[in-house]
Amino acid sequence: QWIYLNEQFVKKEEAKISVYDHGFLYGDGVFEGIRVYDGNVYRLDEHLDRLYNSAKAILLNIPHSKHEMTEIIIETLKKNLLTNAYIRLVVSRGVGNLGLDPKSCPKPQIIVIAEELTLFPKELYKSGLEIVTVATRRNRPDVLSPKVKSLNYLNNILVKIEASLAGVSEALMLNSEGYVAEGSADNVFIVNGNVLRTPPGYIGALEGITRAAIMEIAESLGYVVKEEPFTRHDVYVADEVFLTGTAAEVIAVVKVDGRIIGDGKPGNVTNDLLEQFREHVVKDGVK
């Protein structure tokens, strides 16, 4: 496996960064997770827009154009002979001194890792997930916006830890006002009849690229899609609940905090959307 590291391809075992990198020392940097389906990089432009906007928000200047970044990604896939893959694109502030000030970091480090992905086992897409809600709160949108996909993922990690302490593999976090925000690395939808609801960005959710795709697909299928705040109660009593994300794609949730959702099996709307999504991803990419 070859890793792209600052203008070079190096073997996985040799892909190392300095302990003085501010991404390591302080979580100072941004990243994206991107999927490749049958050689198509799925919605790469949207991922690059989000990456560059995240970088802009933290005053991190990425020394490559989006076009150059596209070429780097394509090269990395070619070098690894991958046509179905998960790509992790990381831009860290770079090597500096021990102070916080990024002025000591003249050059951001660019890392591209591409590998085959297994997130949830196949069976889980048929049976659905059991999840919980956790005490960890989404960071407030008035501080560092949750729209910034930064290397500071402590909240999200705490969500995962709380989930696993509760014996489940995923969880939902609320915002500081108690509205449902999102999962550890995925967005949430609830379904009632033919109406889908997902929390708006201002509640404190990352505006997921899979979320946007599902909203488009759902609308094209005649469902009504609303970006609206909702509470845990709304989740408990929904007909269906599902999560979306680059890694997870679309996965049904069948139990939340011990409450069985619908009849405890992935619902028709979720199954319909997953099927349509899988057909759509292969067509909608950059060669």
Nearer to ligand PLP, 28 or 186 (CB): 186
Q: Does 211 bind ligand PLP (CB under 6 A)?
A: yes
- Restricted to residues 12-71, the positions that interact with ligand PLP (CB under 6 A) are 33
d(CA 193, CA 275): 19
CA 151 vs CA 2, 33, 91, 280: distances in Å:
22, 12, 9, 30
Residue 149 annotated in active site: yes
CA 138 to chain centre: 14
Which one from 78, 149, 160, 283 is the annotated catalytic residue? 149
Residue 135's nearest CA partner among 108, 101, 171 is 171
Alpha helices per DSSP H over the chain: 22-26, 44-57, 66-79, 122-127, 154-165, 201-204, 209-220, 232-236, 268-283
Q: Does 182 bind ligand PLP (CB under 6 A)?
A: yes
State which of residues 89, 190, 206, 218 lies at the interface with ligand PLP (CB under 6 A): 206
The least CB distance from residue 145 to ligand PLP, in Å, is 12
d(CA 239, CA 272): 14
- Contact flags string 75-114 toward ligand PLP, x per CB under 6 A: ----------------------------------------
State which of residues 185, 190, 253, 273 lies at the interface with ligand PLP (CB under 6 A): 185
State which of residues 89, 112, 209, 215 lies at the interface with ligand PLP (CB under 6 A): 209
The identity of residue 195, as a single letter, is V
Nearer to ligand PLP, 181 or 191 (CB): 181
- Contact flags string 232-251 toward ligand PLP, x per CB under 6 A: ------------xxx-----
Q: Does 150 bind ligand PLP (CB under 6 A)?
A: no
**What tokens does 111 get?**
């890392």
The least CB distance from residue 103 to ligand PLP, in Å, is 28
Nearer to ligand PLP, 25 or 251 (CB): 251
d(CA 148, CA 271): 30
The least CB distance from residue 171 to ligand PLP, in Å, is 12
Looking at the chain, the number of H-run helices and the number of E-run strands are: 9, 16
d(CA 11, CA 70): 21
Q: Does 187 bind ligand PLP (CB under 6 A)?
A: yes
68 and 101 Cβ atoms separated by less than 8 Å: no
Catalytic machinery residues: 149
Q: Note the residues at the interface with ligand PLP (CB under 6 A).
A: 33, 156, 182, 185-187, 206, 208-211, 244-246
